[in-house]
């Protein structure tokens, strides 16, 4: 797809786009984009190479990602994104935390008509969070509604059509060209927010000095997958420990269990999570798994991650989360 003089994020012509002058992407036609909407990022040509409508979808995901988090915050500092597109590196750890593979973001693109409509009303609710706020059609809705029209007349029709359908579904009310999110619409937004809040991975293991590197690998893989790692010993609370553990498991998307160092508590937590229908990922170091100290029979029968070193554990766990839970690169 050929890049036009219009900003791919806001549709304006006054946004600054200039070649990068430093870093490994120099000479690749990558450009630094300074959008009037306040977005700042570097975009690699791999993002816009492809069929037109597919490229439009990629920029929807970039826009929504930056709408949600304009910068990458690390250790209290804000860093700009470096967006690229490469399907073969999906699931692989990047050599620079600022790099975001748009192919990863595309995993959360709407997969059906109703998925698109529900995400559309959710996007509206996050963009206009005030109850009773009057909403008027604008260019931003091409991103919020995942429109793939190439010309103004096409995407304007898509925006108008989506608004009409959201009204027919009862998610919006309207008076002429003014729209408001209805009670049913806010109910749907609230329902989807609960799903969004289910964004942590619980770590069940023996907590001691020998397991610190294992815990660190768990945390890195979980964070990279877009989830919050939860270790019960790191949570501040005034309650009895067992109810607190069960509460955190119940609000987790999945549970990661290390059985390299036997721990009855971890077995119990894994069983409780299984009973709740959570994904449970069992991990064990290779030398232990193949020894006479291997995990209990019930655990050993599950498809476990048998790892050689901490880097291997991190990579394998990330891929297992991606395959069985899904990456939590949630958009608006």
Q: What is the pLDDT of residue 196?
A: 65
Do 73 and 87 share a domain, yes or no? Answer: yes
Q: What is the pLDDT of residue 332?
A: 35
326 burial level (CB within 10 Å; 0-12, 13-18, 19+): middle
Helix (H, G, I), strand (E, B) or coil at 39: coil
pLDDT tens digits for 229-252?
888 877 655 667 888 888 889 888
* Rounded CA separation 93/81 (Å): 16
Could you tell me if residue 324 is inside a domain? no
Do 64 and 169 share a domain, yes or no? Answer: no
Could you tell me if residue 7 is inside a domain? no
Do 216 and 154 share a domain, yes or no? Answer: no
Say how many domains are in the chain. 3
Could you tell me if residue 2 is inside a domain? no
User: Structural domain of residue 38, as residue ranges?
Assistant: 16-107
Do 118 and 98 share a domain, yes or no? Answer: no
* Rounded CA separation 218/260 (Å): 13
Which residue in 118, 121, 1 sits closest to 58, CA to CA? Answer: 1
Question: Edge to edge, what strands does the sheet with 305-307 contain?
Answer: 228-230, 200-204, 254-258, 279-285, 305-307
* Two tokens, residue 93: 């750890």
Could you tell me if residue 9 is inside a domain? no
Do 70 and 164 share a domain, yes or no? Answer: no
* Rounded CA separation 105/64 (Å): 10
Do 22 and 69 share a domain, yes or no? Answer: yes
Could you tell me if residue 325 is inside a domain? no
Please tell me the number of Cα atoms within 13 Å of 256 on its side-chain side: 33
Beta bridge partners of 175: 178
List the chain residues with pLDDT less than 70: 1-4, 75, 91-93, 195-197, 235-239, 293-301, 329-332
Q: What is the pLDDT of residue 69?
A: 82
pLDDT tens digits for 6-37?
888 888 888 998 999 888 899 899 999 999 88
Do 188 and 286 share a domain, yes or no? Answer: no
Do 39 and 87 share a domain, yes or no? Answer: yes
Q: What is the pLDDT of residue 328?
A: 77
Q: Which of these three, 136, 165, 195, is where a domain ends?
A: 195
Beta bridge partners of 283: 258, 305
Q: What is the pLDDT of residue 331?
A: 38
Q: What is the pLDDT of residue 301?
A: 65
Please tell me the number of Cα atoms within 13 Å of 39 on its side-chain side: 27
Could you tell me if residue 330 is inside a domain? no
Do 87 and 120 share a domain, yes or no? Answer: no
Do 150 and 211 share a domain, yes or no? Answer: no
CATH number at residue 272: 3.40.50.450
pTM of the model: 0.65
Q: Which of these three, 52, 77, 107, is where a domain ends?
A: 107
Do 122 and 154 share a domain, yes or no? Answer: yes
Do 62 and 99 share a domain, yes or no? Answer: yes
Could you tell me if residue 5 is inside a domain? no
* Rounded CA separation 271/273 (Å): 5
Q: Which of these three, 75, 90, 107, is where a domain ends?
A: 107
Whether the CB-CB separation of 305 and 284 falls below 8 Å is answered with: yes
């Amino acid at each position: 797809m050929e890049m036009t003089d219009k900003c791919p994020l806001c549709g304006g012509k006054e946004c600054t786009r200039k070649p990068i002058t430093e870093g490994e992407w120099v000479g690749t036609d990558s450009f630094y984009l300074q959008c009037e909407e306040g977005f700042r990022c570097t975009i690699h040509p791999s993002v816009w190479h492809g069929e037109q409508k597919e490229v439009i979808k990629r920029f929807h995901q970039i826009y929504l990602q930056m709408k949600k988090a304009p910068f990458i915050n690390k250790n209290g500092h804000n860093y700009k994104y470096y967006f690229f597109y490469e399907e073969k590196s999906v699931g692989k750890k990047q050599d620079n935390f600022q790099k975001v593979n748009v192919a990863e973001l595309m995993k959360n693109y709407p997969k059906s008509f109703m998925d698109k409509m529900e995400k559309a009303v959710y996007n509206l609710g996050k963009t206009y969070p005030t109850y009773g706020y009057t909403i008027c059609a604008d260019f931003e809705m091409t991103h919020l509604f995942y429109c793939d029209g190439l010309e103004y007349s096409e995407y304007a029709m898509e925006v108008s059509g989506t608004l009409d359908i959201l009204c027919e579904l009862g998610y919006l009310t309207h008076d002429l060209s003014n729209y408001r999110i209805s009670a049913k619409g806010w109910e749907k937004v609230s329902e989807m927010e609960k799903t969004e809040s289910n964004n942590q991975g619980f770590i069940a293991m023996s907590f001691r000095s020998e397991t610190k590197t294992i815990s660190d690998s768990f945390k890195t893989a979980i964070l990279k997958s877009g989830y919050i790692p939860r270790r019960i010993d790191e949570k501040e609370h005034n309650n009895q420990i067992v109810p607190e553990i069960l509460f955190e498991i119940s609000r987790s998307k999945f549970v990661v269990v290390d059985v390299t160092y036997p721990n009855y508590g971890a077995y119990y937590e894994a069983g409780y999570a299984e009973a709740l229908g959570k994904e449970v990922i069992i991990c064990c170091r290779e030398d232990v798994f193949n020894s006479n100290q291997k995990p209990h029979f019930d655990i050993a029968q599950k498809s476990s991650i048998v790892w050689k070193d901490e880097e291997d554990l991190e990579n394998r766990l990330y891929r297992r989360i991606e395959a069985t839970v899904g990456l939590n690169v949630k958009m608006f």
